Amino acid sequence: MDKTALKARLRQQKIETPSWGYQDSGTRFGVFAQPWAAKTIEEKFEDAGQVHKYTGICPTVALHIPWDTCADWSKAKAMAASHNLTIGAINPNVFQDKDYQFGSICHRDERVRAKAIKAHVDCIEIGKATGSDCLSLWFADGTNYPGQDSFRERKHRMQDSLAKVYAALPKGMRMIVEYKFFEPAFYHTDIQDWGSSLLLCQKLGEQAQVLVDTGHHSQGCNIEHIVAILLDEGKLGGFHFNSRKYADDDLTVGSLNPYELFLIYNELVGAEHSSDAKVKACAQRVAYMFDQCHTHKPTVEAIMQSAIHVQEIYAKALLVDQAALASARAAGDLVQAEEVLQDAYKSDVRPMLAELRQDMGLDPEPLKAFRRSGYLQKKAEERQARRAKAGQAAQTMGAGFPT
């Protein structure tokens, strides 16, 4: 692929950032506060706007309900637009309410299931109001002890519950269903792998697809193989990009195994060239999102770093000589097939990306430019002062102010 064509493809790349990635995060042992961390939806849009401003490839923000709240969602849409953003996937939270201790859509109590179903339908309405075309689902449902519940009955409850949610989807909105093989349920998880998610989506219908979180797999799992099969079935809906050393660490994407990310992207790029119309259409509609909660790195910088890395990996995947790869495969030349991949992976695409950014009116070195702006320090001062003032006002009224 020549440089002009390569740049044209890279201009089309879009990665969605998560609203929750801009707020304080932590582990089960505690939350590690950052003075600039966003707390309100407007502050999250401010921060996300900075990532897009400097990278040029992050124009949408995923929301998490009810972590993100707004009395008038049309105003939230306008608020996002003021930062050159649009609202992306809507993510319902049905894992923190006390009612969901033993499950949400799989719960044995019909009342709890109805509550969870309503939470999803409410999120569909938020999606309509904000212009979102994607409902992104992850469930903590599962059991912690043998004998706690019936696997098959839980499977039926899930299918029935999600069928009711699916029926509320408007035309054009997709439901993408994530899986995770363990945690917080340690005996069994109701959607524990890509196969169980795929079966569920096949039963639901065309608007339901599988979401692959790169951190939600056992050690040694071949994620690119999973991606290829889901593409072939036309059921790959999207990604939650992150990285992990052992389990779901939510580390900066590509920080531990960038070659794996390259091989995943190679499957995606290959599918974009497929002669199979279903596979090609699926590849062209994949939703790319980050799912990262940064406990130590500065929030905005960590997400910006992720965006830059994914841009580099995608550029390398675009450099794969697909014709030469197909030829080596046809000849059974294992060494040459791998060399084709290695040639692309070892390419230094950074000078070309710097040139592309300049063509787009951006600084060639986004992270350095962002640091020079002093944005984080400025926001730390502004937000701490605003919260201190609000806290004093609450105290004057005789009310505590939540942190």
- Per-residue pLDDT in tens (0 to 9) along the chain, 403 residues: 889 999 999 999 999 999 999 999 877 788 889 999 999 999 999 999 999 999 999 999 999 999 999 999 999 999 999 999 999 999 999 999 999 999 999 999 999 999 999 999 999 999 999 999 999 999 999 999 999 999 999 999 999 999 999 999 999 999 999 999 999 999 999 999 999 999 999 999 999 999 999 999 999 999 999 999 999 999 999 999 999 898 887 889 989 999 999 999 999 999 998 999 999 999 999 999 999 988 889 999 999 999 999 999 999 999 999 999 999 999 999 999 999 999 999 999 999 999 999 999 999 999 999 999 999 999 999 999 998 988 866 554 443 323 2
- Please count the residues of the chain: 403
Domain boundaries, the chain: 14-394
Which CATH architecture fits 14-394? Alpha-Beta Barrel (3.20)
Residue 29 is predicted with a pLDDT of 82
Give the pLDDT confidence of 52-67 residue by residue, as tens digits. Answer: 999 999 999 999 999 9
Candidates 16, 15, 70, 67; CA nearest to 42 is 70
Candidates 74, 71, 27, 64; CA nearest to 44 is 64
Vertex 192: Cα angle to 30 and 170 (nearest 5): 95
- Look up tokens 């179903």; give the residue: 117
Alpha-carbon distance of 360 to 17, in angstroms, equals: 20
Candidates 46, 19, 41; CA nearest to 380 is 46
pTM over 0.85: yes
Give the pLDDT confidence of 280-301 residue by residue, as tens digits. Answer: 999 999 999 999 988 889 999 9
Q: How far is CA 341 from the centre of its chain?
A: 26
Alpha-carbon distance of 6 to 283, in angstroms, equals: 18
- Look up tokens 């593409």; give the residue: 231
Q: 211, 239 in Cβ contact below 8 A? A: yes
Vertex 360: Cα angle to 354 and 364 (nearest 5): 25
Vertex 124: Cα angle to 75 and 100 (nearest 5): 110
Backbone angles phi, psi at 289, to 5 degrees: -140, 150
Backbone angles phi, psi at 112, to 5 degrees: -65, -40
How would DSSP label each residue in 274-292? Answer: -S-HHHHHHHHTPEEEE--
Candidates 110, 147, 130; CA nearest to 19 is 130
Q: Which residues contact 313 (CB under 8 A, 6 or more apart)?
A: 254, 258, 261, 262, 265
